[in-house]
C-alpha cells in the first residue's frame, strides 16, 4: 500500500527554520516563510517528488535535495542574503527566482 506524503508548513516572522525529510511514494511539500532568519532544508527521497518553497525577507537559505523519480522544485526568495542549493538526482526540473540581495545559487541535476 503506497504512502502519500504531503506537507504544508508556513511561518511568519522571526527566527524561521523548517527542516523536512520525506521518504517514499507521492512526496509533496509546500513551505512558506515571510520574514527574519529564514532557513529551509528539504530532503525528499523516492517517487513523485515536488516542492514549492517561498521565503520573502532577511537571511534566506534553502537547501533542497530530491533524489529519485519525478522531481520538481520551485523556489522563490525575494530579499536579503539569499542562497539556494539544489540537487535533484532523478528526473529533475526546477524554477528559481531570487529577486536578490546577497544571491548565490548552486544546482546539480542528473
Question: Rounded to an integer, what distance in angstroms lies between the CA atom of residue 108 and that of residue 110?
Answer: 7
pLDDT band at 2 (very low <50, low <70, confident <90, very high): low
Q: Give the whole-angstrom CA distance, residue 7 versus residue 52.
A: 10
Look at the block and give the residue holding cell 517528488: 49
pTM of structure: 0.88
Give CA–CA dist 74/85, Å, rounded: 12
Q: Which three three-digit cell numbers place residue 69?
A: 523519480
Between these two residues, 43 and 10, which has the higher pLDDT value? 43
Supply the pLDDT for residue 101.
93
Amino acid at each position: 500500500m503506497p504512502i502519500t506524503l504531503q506537507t504544508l508548513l508556513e511561518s511568519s516572522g522571526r527566527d524561521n527554520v523548517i527542516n523536512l525529510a520525506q521518504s517514499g511514494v507521492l512526496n509533496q511539500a509546500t513551505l512558506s516563510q515571510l520574514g527574519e532568519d529564514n532557513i529551509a532544508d528539504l530532503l525528499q527521497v523516492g517517487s513523485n517528488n515536488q516542492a514549492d518553497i517561498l521565503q520573502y525577507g532577511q537571511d534566506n537559505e534553502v537547501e533542497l535535495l530530491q533524489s529519485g523519480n519525478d522531481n520538481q522544485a520551485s523556489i522563490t526568495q525575494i530579499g536579503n542574503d539569499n542562497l539556494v542549493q539544489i540537487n535533484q538526482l532523478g528526473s529533475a526540473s526546477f524554477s528559481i527566482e531570487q529577486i536578490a540581495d546577497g544571491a548565490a545559487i548552486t544546482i546539480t541535476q542528473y
